[in-house]
Amino acid sequence: DGSEMVEVGNYINANYAEPNPEMLGIAEGRNIIAVSLESLQSFVINEEMNGHVITPFLNELTNDPDTFYFSNFYHQTGLGKTSDSEFILENSLYPRNGAAVFFTHSGNTYDSLSNKLGENGYHTSVMHANNKSFWNRDIMYDALNIEKFYDVASYEIGEGDAVNWGMKDIPFVKQSADLMLDIPQPFYTRLITLTNHYPFDLDEEDMLIPQYDSNSRTLNKYFQSVRYMDEAIKVLFEDLKEKGLYDNSIIVMYGDHYGISENHNKAMGMYLDKEITPFDNAKLQRVPLFIHIPGYGKGEKIDTVSGQLDIRPTLLHLMGIETKGDMQLGKDIFSPDYEPFVIFRDGRFVTENYIYTTDVCYDTNTGEPAEEQAECDQYLKRAMDELDYSDMIINGDLLRFMTEPENLENEMK
């Protein structure tokens, strides 16, 4: 109700992180091309598998002067997997616990990234070669004010173009770049890749490295499948350049959620050469984030602890769009007020010094339980509060009060 709105609003205002004046608007007016990297976790970046480089193109980007690469960045998704990552990116709110918010709250009012960019003259869309109703996307995209959904019907899937869950990523990114040529600029489009999805099956010709040799067929195929996705991203960059879409765009790429679950701890332990503890499992929730700004030249590797909820404010500020007063729970990672504190949907959290999981406060430096378990207590309380506030916003459909303030006035009478 209205009083919840006031309480949540106070919390959000108190936690607002101002944009960094040096970063505000550095990508203003450019097109935004976001890429959801299916099931991509950070543990493969800048690493090898039995002597084979797994992500050669992305590795190059981690050292590229036009790129910010975030190496300590966490997914914050729950059961809604890809759809949760979309929800987080668009709204900077937590998804729901135990249910996919794309199904349960598609009737809400949202102030999404797409909505905000739309208000600033952008044409907004999503590109994904799957049925439009998967994850209830067609309905939720209306609620998120996404102008156009290029679903499977927008793609031509020729012979040999499909594997595993559907259209292969390489033909998908090529046709997506073609589709972009028809969108009036500036545009914000989000590509959702699909090939690197469990069970990670590929056609022979797309196996660019061998499989791994553990007791987990899933992990064995994962490396090979990730290698194919890396190739697809390289093709996307080439195509954007060829089509003249590259120079005037910003490309934001992020892993949507983990691909290898805890069921494969034994095989993962063999690959990482250590026994996987709950501390390691939490660290394995890192997914890569790349913000690539052609011609920028001052990119860096950033090891700040950060998470998916931070993308919306960070990106909007880079585009020169302010977010003060927005009902978002993430923070601009470049802000001088940024606090490294990432809360997972299931209540685990990560700070610079601690990782809290399975009711234990771990020291991030040693990976062992902290000597003072109470060090986590203040964060634990805040983590619970923040998840509650997010649930309050979603369950109470509080954003309707933003678009129709008279509703709030009436409720407060």
Residues whose CB is less than 8 angstroms from the CB of residue 17 and which lie 6 or more positions away in sequence, other chains included = 313, 331, 332, 335, 336, 337, 338, 339
Name the region of 401 (left: φ>0; alpha: ψ -120 to 50; beta: rest).
Answer: alpha
Applying CB under 6 A, which part among 11-19, 167-175, 191-199, 206-214 lies near ligand GP9? 191-199
Reading the block at residue 297, the tokens are: 């030249």
40 touches ligand GP9 (CB under 6 A) = no
Q: Is 197 annotated as a binding residue?
A: yes
Structural tokens at position 37: 């990297």
Backbone angle region of 320, left / alpha / beta, with phi > 0 → left and psi within -120 to 50 → alpha? left
Q: Is residue 225 at the binding interface for Mn ion, with CB under 5 A as the rule?
A: no
Q: Is 220 in the site for Mn ion (CB under 5 A)?
A: no
Q: Per rule CB under 6 A, is residue 192 in the interface with ligand GP9?
A: yes
**Can you name the residues that pair with 369 across neighbouring β-strands?**
362
Measured torsion, CA atoms of residues 231, 54, 83, 167, in degrees rounded to the nearest 10: 40
Strand 67-70 with 301-302, pairing: parallel
Is 38 annotated to bind a ligand? Reply is: yes
User: Would you say 81 and 256 are in contact if contact means Cβ atoms under 8 Å apart?
Assistant: yes
The window from 101-109, 138-146, 256-264, 353-361 that contacts Mn ion (CB under 5 A) reads 256-264
Q: Which two tokens stand for residue 288?
A: 């890569």
Using CB under 5 A as the binding criterion, the count of chain residues that bind Mn ion stands at 4
Question: Which of ligand GP9, Mn ion, none has residue 280 at its interface (CB below 5 to 8 Å by kind)?
Answer: none
User: Which one of ligand GP9, Mn ion, none is in contact with 348 (Cβ closer than 5 to 8 A by kind)?
Assistant: none
Stretch touching ligand GP9 by CB under 6 A, among 19-27, 168-176, 190-198, 403-411? 190-198
For residues 130 and 304, which CB has a smaller minimum distance to ligand GP9 in the complex? 130
Looking from the CA of 45 toward its CB, the CA atoms found within 13 Å total 24
Select from 57, 103, 134, 296 the one that contacts ligand GP9 (CB under 6 A).
134
Q: Which residues are catalytically annotated?
A: 82
192 binds, among ligand GP9, Mn ion, none (CB under 5 to 8 A by kind): ligand GP9
Task: Compute the distance between CA of residue 179 and CA of residue 176 in angstroms, rounded to an integer.
Answer: 5
Residues of span 26-65 touching Mn ion by CB under 5 A: 38
Please list, in sequence order, all residues whose beta carbon lies within 8 angstroms of the beta carbon of residue 366, skipping any fewer than 6 positions away. none
Q: Is 292 annotated for ligand binding?
A: no
Of 81 and 190, the one with the shorter C-beta distance to ligand GP9 is 81
Binding-residue pattern over the window 85 to 114 for Mn ion, x denoting contact by CB under 5 A: ------------------------------
- Binding flag, residue 130, ligand GP9 (CB under 6 A): yes
Token pair in block for residue 35: 């890429």
Three-state DSSP class for residue 290: strand
Number of neighbouring beta carbons within 10 Å of residue 2: 16
Window 53-112: residues binding ligand GP9 (CB under 6 A): 81-82
CB of 37 to ligand GP9, least distance (A): 11
What is residue 99's DSSP assignment?
S
Among 256, 326, 332, 386, binds Mn ion (CB under 5 A): 256
Give the single-character DSSP code of 286: B
Q: What's the distance, CA 98 to chain centroid? A: 19
Rounded to an integer, what distance in angstroms lies between the CA atom of residue 295 and that of residue 292?
A: 9
- Of the pair 17, 194, the CB lying nearest ligand GP9 is at 194
Which of 55, 67, 76, 82 contacts Mn ion by CB under 5 A?
A: 82
Counting residues that bind ligand GP9 (by CB under 6 A) gives 7
Q: Which does 361 bind (CB under 5 to 8 A by kind): ligand GP9, Mn ion, none?
A: none
Nearest CA among 25, 27, 30, 29 for reference residue 240: 30
Q: Please check whether residue 108 is in contact with residue 172, taking contact to mean a CB–CB distance below 8 angstroms.
A: no
Q: Which does 134 bind (CB under 5 to 8 A by kind): ligand GP9, Mn ion, none?
A: ligand GP9
Region of 114-122, 131-139, 205-213, 254-262 interacting with Mn ion (CB under 5 A):
254-262
- Could you write out the three-class secondary structure of 369-404? ECCCHHHHHHHHHHHHHHHHHHHHHHHCCCCHHHHC
* Helices marked H in 273-354: 278-283, 311-318
Which one of the spans 141-149, 189-197, 327-335, 377-385 is the region binding ligand GP9 (CB under 6 A)?
189-197
Nearer to ligand GP9 (CB atom), residue 94 or residue 246: 94
304 is in an annotated binding site: no
- Indicate the annotated binding residues: 38, 82, 197, 256-257
Residue ranges for the known binding site for Mn(2+) are 38, 82, 256-257
Q: Catalog residues that contact ligand GP9 under the rule CB under 6 A.
A: 81-82, 130, 134, 192, 194, 197
Residues making contact with Mn ion (CB under 5 A): 38, 81-82, 256
